[in-house]
Chains A and B, each alone.
Chain A
Amino acid sequence: MKMKKILALLLAVLMVASFAACKTDTSEEPESSKPAESMDPLKEWPSIPAGTVLQFWHAMGGANGAALDLVVAKFNEENEFGITVEATFQGGYTDLHTKLVSALQGGDIPHIAQAYANNIMVYLDSDSIVQLDEYIFDPQVGIEDWEDIIQGYREENSNYPDGKFYSLPFNKSTEVLYYNETFFNANNLTVPTTWEELKDVSMEASEILGKPAFGYDSLSNLFITWTQQAGGQYTNNNGDVLFNSPEAREALQFFIDGVEGGYFRTAGEDNYCSGPFNDENLVMFIGSTSGSAYIGSDTFEWNAAMVPFGKVEKVIQQGSNMFMLKSDEVGQLATFEFMKFLMAPENTALWAMNSGYLPVRDSARELPEYVEFVESGVNPTKDIGTMYDGAWYIYDPVFKESYSIRMAVEKAVEEAATGLKTVDEAITDAAASIN
């Protein structure tokens, strides 16, 4: 058997068949999508018949999944339209994303789903995502107290190429500074509020501990947040890389000095700092409020504080959003009613009290039940996470390469932290890698 011949044959077949596949491809016209409804203030909305069923795909497992079931059950019981929402767990975010990409090729799609903004932008290509402005700002069915929704969240969810809303905030979190209160009290340490204090306290605590006292969970968040805290910029909506700057170098150098000086560390092999924190291998770290469920030990008391700031007060907003998929007019209106319900003050508060996330509205924080919950002190992040000014929130601008850039800066921090590259090289290379 002549292997070369087979190889050549295979390649030829490969090419021919690819071109054949081309023909079938182009003949597959997408199913015609409905023309966008016009923005008419006097729009006649259909009435929602009782018994309408909505599918909701989400990525909330464990305790967060149970919290979501609770809120959905409340909606199914209370809503005046007789709508039933069926919430389905679809694995982690990546799994859910894979599933949505598959289903949007003409398969069965849900009415509402959860996703990060950069993925929602990809789904826009399917023409199956509902633009929400006409719902949000409609005088009849819209959201009256729109400004009550936290500013940073409103900005993020209209951060799409055409500036329209294609999503609404759902499970939002932010970063806080977790610290070992018992250790801090015993050693007369003060919780740091600035970079300088963070450095001093970390050095002092590290000497007592004999190992790095401070850790940062997400290295891409570190880079994005600290660069902007130093007065620099990360990227903009056009996808321009703006972090090849002295400020970014200053921010990263500040962290790397700490790593090399033995008082800062990354989560590294532990994935999240909560593990070593619980084992008292470090005494403070910056991590997501949604990680608070994994913190706790019988041997010490923990607490949370606002993250320390640099020159500028900036803090990242995390978590994902919900978006609506095209169905019929009734289905979409019913879906919007459900979205409104999830964002209503008492429900977003209920969600926050039972899950790892924060309320999406300012007013939810003042609700008596939420205040009482916060004061009970069961979870300090629920208080701290809501203390940030809405204007401090930063988010990743969304564009085609936003994910790759986030990966590139994370890699840059790792390269600098492991000594593979200098700070300058790491940042220069990260900026150059985006093509």
Chain B
Amino acid sequence: MFEPRWKTTLKALLYLSPALIVIAVFVIYPMFRSVWISFFKDYNIFKHTGSGFGLDNYKWVLNDGRFILALKNTTIYTIVVVPVSVVIALFTAVLLNSKMKGMKLFETLYFLPYITNLIAIGLAFKFIFNSTYGILNRILGLFGIDTIMWLNDPKYSLPALIIFGIWSGLAFKIVVFLAGIQGINKQYYQAAKIDNTSRWRTFTKITMPMLSPMIFYIGIISFIGALKTYVEVVGLYGNNPGPADTAMTIVYYVYDLFYGANEPPRAAAASVILFLIILVFTFIQLRASKKRVQY
């Protein structure tokens, strides 16, 4: 086949250059700036001068109880939200793909949450979770579950965030999965039908393998997104990330450190740590996927 040659490489770089330039200027360059800032004990953000070069900020962050709490919360959030939302989205996409009447209407409804503005919809969720006038407790009440103080009780503040997080990410995932499923060559399904293959077998033997790049894409994207959760916290809790910080995520912590406590170097150190954590896990995922994902 075609071996990579310098000529193709040059051509490829030409195709890549518009995107690469923008990303280099607006993502990679400021990222290096942040890394640089993170090594200064004292840094003047306005004049860009610093003193005390070293790892002090990293030590400080790693010893900060709030960071450890944020790390714990974010980890739990990610471990729950990613698989649950991927499974629900996949399941829904498969259902929506059935050849039945009214599926177009359902598709329309299911994608609607994607157009939301998280500030306004976060407010709606806040009301839904409220222990006095919230609808969620009313519904749970029908099943004999006692009133839960979703947003007040330290035990439930993170679960509330998780529910909101699953909801807010579903629409995008369903769209991508459905688009992926519909891109699968119809002949496979026709063949399966002729052979009278069961639904489950069709799903595991055709849909899943053919869809694996999309599942992998969604997995990676939502994994990164979950570790970077921030807007959902603000939408649900405003300026106080749950009772006693029980719904504080790492990015919330970073933001609060940067603009609240006015400690940009420490905030930068915390985000570098987050970056490294995500990087390591993503490489593990990428590596594992090389063996499983089919193209």
Chain A contacts to B: CB under 8 angstroms: 1, 3, 6-7, 10, 14-15, 17-22, 25-26, 28, 30, 94, 97-98, 101, 104-105, 118-119, 122-123, 125-128, 266, 268-271, 276, 279, 281, 400-401, 403-404, 407, 410-411, 414-415, 417-418, 420, 433, 435
Contact = CB atoms under 8 A, between A and B. Distances in A.
B65 A433 contact: yes
A269 B149 contact: yes
Nearest to A16: B32
Contact of B243 (A20, A94, A414): A414
A97 B259 CA distance: 7
Contact of B32 (A21, A119, A123, A403): A21
Contact of B44 (A125, A270, A279, A410): A125
A58 B5 CA distance: 58
Contact of A3 (B66, B154, B283): B283
Given A14-B35, A125-B45, A126-B47, A281 B243 contact: no
Interface stretch (B128-136, B175-183, B185-193): B128-136
21 contacts: A3-B283, A15-B35, A18-B39, A19-B36, A22-B36, A25-B48, A28-B48, A30-B47, A94-B259, A97-B259, A101-B46, A105-B46, A122-B262, A125-B44, A126-B46, A128-B46, A268-B152, A269-B150, A414-B244, A418-B153, A418-B244
B87 interface: no
B290 to A, nearest CB: 8
B81 to A, nearest CB: 21
B249 to A, nearest CB: 16
Contacts of A6: 283
Question: Which of B240, B256, B283, B287 is the most central at the interface, judged by chain A CB atoms within 10 Å of its CB?
Answer: B240
A227 to B, nearest CB: 19
Contacts of B36: 18-19, 21-22, 25
A3 B32 contact: no
A269 B236 CA distance: 9
Given A3-B287, A269-B129, A414-B243, A125 B32 contact: no
Interface residues of B, number: 45
Interface of B: 29, 32-33, 35-36, 39, 44-49, 60, 63, 65-66, 126, 129-133, 149-154, 238-240, 243-245, 256, 259-262, 279-280, 283, 286-287, 290
Contact of A270 (B48, B49, B130, B256): B130
Contacts of B240: 271, 410
Nearest to B153: A418
A18 B29 CA distance: 9
Given A7-B280, A22-B36, A269-B130, A125 B46 contact: yes
B147 to A, nearest CB: 12
Contact of A101 (B133, B259, B280): B259
Across the A-B interface, the 9 shortest Cβ-Cβ residue pairs: A126-B46, A269-B151, A268-B152, A414-B244, A30-B47, A17-B32, A18-B36, A21-B36, A122-B262
A98 B29 CA distance: 20
A18 B126 contact: no
Contact of A403 (B46, B244, B262, B287): B262
A313 to B, nearest CB: 29
Nearest to A95: B259
Question: Which of B46, B132, B150 is the most central at the interface, judged by chain A CB atoms within 10 Å of its CB?
Answer: B46
A418 B247 CA distance: 14
Contacts of B260: 94, 403, 407
Nearest to B129: A269
A7 B130 CA distance: 45
A269 B287 CA distance: 43
Nearest to B155: A418
A98 B259 contact: yes
Contact of B239 (A94, A98, A119, A404): A94
A373 B280 CA distance: 64
A15 B131 CA distance: 50
Contacts of A404: 261
Contacts of A105: 45-46, 48
Nearest to A4: B283
B279 A269 contact: no
A378 to B, nearest CB: 28
A268 B244 contact: no
Contact of B49 (A26, A122, A268, A269): A26
A28 B287 CA distance: 42
A393 to B, nearest CB: 24
A415 B48 contact: no
Nearest to A410: B240
Contacts of A271: 238, 240
Nearest to A276: B132
Contacts of B243: 268, 414, 417-418
Nearest to A30: B47
Contacts of B46: 30, 101, 104-105, 123, 125-128
A3 B279 CA distance: 11
Given A3-B287, A125-B46, A14 B149 contact: no
B148 to A, nearest CB: 11
A65 B202 CA distance: 61
Contacts of B238: 271
Nearest to A211: B132
Contact of B283 (A7, A101, A118): A7
Contacts of A26: 49
A19 B37 CA distance: 10
